[in-house]
Structure 1
């Protein structure tokens, strides 16, 4: 299956104004009354929880109502429709497909809306390996972090084995790494990102979205964007830091979507030759390091002493 990754997440939220403001402050661009996008067109659709256009929600009250995956072509849509003869597959007016997975999540599939991203990744200079142009500062006071692309979604599920089997056996996802007894990191066939999904084993009453995230150009943008969020009064949940599985830089914030929302950057890329790893979950395996935010200061008479 030539599935690329999540194109769009559709939300039914309790506080519409707060969710829309959060999306803008996070760095997404309003395209219309409901849709907020990254640079490549991927994004989130925000509606009130009682909006009649939304699919039925989970009994847990999760605000994530639908995950829409982008695929490469019509042939992939046809293959998905042919695969799921065991359940209803709706063909919507825009030609996309809609079905419910084995955990009860509503999934959509559409020919991808992603456009080619022309933004350069952050470049790092090191002795003997100069990657940034001569006379080009690595950071300036006028830099604005820009949200690049919808990256991945993490789900709480009551049975991570069933969830993994569905995406592997029915949709061709590959497990790249896993936390023992917790769940797998998975990627679809048409991307080399370390993961676009991570399943976390959790009690049934918790089922829903644990967090979702967008890619940034590099760690500087993650830290600058996160600093902007702190300065706007949003609550930091975890970060900044760098994960071990996936190697991505991260910074998570509490959000009005009933879950955490993350910035990430510099995720590992894998092909079919990758040998997946497994580890027990815990602080030593969750991140290579974790930083602590503090207010700006300058050395001098009023600053900290050595």
Structure 2
């Protein structure tokens, strides 16, 4: 039997399991807007950003903005800091009134964003300690030229005749920010917070082997825009021994752009973490890289788009279930390489001592994932 048996999203919930959505959320955000980081070396961040496929829109001694080719805000905001850290995410409100409603419901103040971004924001903190901004009315950057998807001959269906395929080894131009993945010691509390405050809905749940009765340990979560399709996940949350950024994903034109862009990164000495392959939950073709500060970033293409009529899928979390095809998942991607072993061990010991959702049973489930 295939290792992928019973791993797909068509398998739904059992009676009494999490609904995957709040009954009466405060607002329903429309998309993820940008991510914010602090880094000590902005020059290094800009050089990698260009090689990864971003275009800088702002560069001062203390701040760097990186955009994709789509209309909208920058995808990434990097500010100079003493140490490297993920600060938080901004989500796009459907309208300004939603920012005001969310501020009133949470007792927070609406503030104006700096002029390079424009618009207004209400700043919240999720149960895991990450900053969550809900924004509206920011400046809209005009569309930039993008890489055009190639014309393919599929089997006997001929679309390209008397013409060759010659993708250039150049940066895979980022079109837009797709999603961010976060780890939390308070997974269920944090999940419910996002569903209730931002109106997000779950596309897929994952659970540890033999622990389904204890509930999920990971969720892929999308925006609820009614009958308008949105990304399979705008946010993904997973239970773990620390509260941290896991990775973020940026859409590119197609597989050729991704592969040729990967060669461009490799030739410049950057580290591929895992890829190229195709995921199961979300279906996207992926390629993961480490930036010079150690952050994991993903190129993706051809992801699933769902409207709000689909109910959550349920599947067991396994390492082999991370991809339909591609190279075996790496220790670097799983966080099990020797370089991170000491840090992970300290995080585990600390989490087991604290009052949170990561206990011994969950630790055993997580260890099984790495070998499954």
Q: TM-score, normalised by structure 2?
A: 0.67
In structure 2, C-alpha distance between the alignment counterparts of 1:101 and 1:167, rounded to whole Å:
8
Q: How many residues align?
A: 277
User: Secondary structure of 1:18's match?
Assistant: helix
Alignment counterpart, residue 48 of structure 2, candidates 1, 19, 22? 22
Alignment counterpart, residue 200 of structure 1, candidates 216, 238, 242? 238
Query: Kindly tell me: are residues 97 and 274 of structure 1, through their superposed partners in 2, closer, same or farther at Cα, counting changes over 3 Å?
Result: same
Contact 2:169/2:261 (<8 A) preserved: no
Query: Kindly tell me: are residues 10 and 141 of structure 1, through their superposed partners in 2, closer, same or farther at Cα, counting changes over 3 Å?
Result: closer
1:83 pairs with 2:113: no
Alignment counterpart, residue 100 of structure 1, candidates 115, 125, 129? 125
1:255 to partner: Cα distance: 1.6
Contact 1:13/1:256 (<8 A) preserved: no
Contact 1:182/1:201 (<8 A) preserved: yes
Alignment counterpart, residue 46 of structure 1, candidates 74, 78, 95? 78
In structure 1, C-alpha distance between the alignment counterparts of 2:104 and 2:161, rounded to whole Å:
54
Question: 2:364: which partner in 1?
Answer: none
Contact 2:128/2:190 (<8 A) preserved: yes
1:274 to partner: Cα distance: 1.7
Question: 2:210: which partner in 1?
Answer: none
Alignment counterpart, residue 183 of structure 2, candidates 146, 156, 173? 156
User: Secondary structure of 1:12's match?
Assistant: strand
User: Secondary structure of 1:289's match?
Assistant: coil
1:195 to partner: Cα distance: 0.3
In structure 2, C-alpha distance between the alignment counterparts of 1:165 and 1:114, rounded to whole Å:
33
User: Secondary structure of 1:152's match?
Assistant: strand
Contact 2:126/2:132 (<8 A) preserved: yes
Q: Give the root-mean-square deviation of aligned CA atoms.
A: 2.5
Contact 2:169/2:260 (<8 A) preserved: no
Contact 1:92/1:98 (<8 A) preserved: no
Alignment counterpart, residue 189 of structure 1, candidates 224, 249, 262? 224
Q: TM-score, normalised by structure 1?
A: 0.81
Post-superposition Cα deviations, 1:232-279, rounded to whole Å, max 9, x if no partner, equal 101111111110100001111112344201111111011122232222
User: Which has more helix, going by share of residues?
Assistant: 2
Query: Kindly tell me: are residues 196 and 122 of structure 1, through their superposed partners in 2, closer, same or farther at Cα, counting changes over 3 Å?
Result: farther
In structure 1, C-alpha distance between the alignment counterparts of 2:105 and 2:256, rounded to whole Å:
43
Question: 1:260: which partner in 2?
Answer: 296
In structure 2, C-alpha distance between the alignment counterparts of 1:114 and 1:184, rounded to whole Å:
32
Contact 1:252/1:263 (<8 A) preserved: yes
User: Secondary structure of 2:58's match?
Assistant: coil
Question: 1:125: which partner in 2?
Answer: 153
Structural mapping, 1:234-249, within 5 Å: 234-249=270-285
Alignment counterpart, residue 272 of structure 1, candidates 286, 304, 308? 308
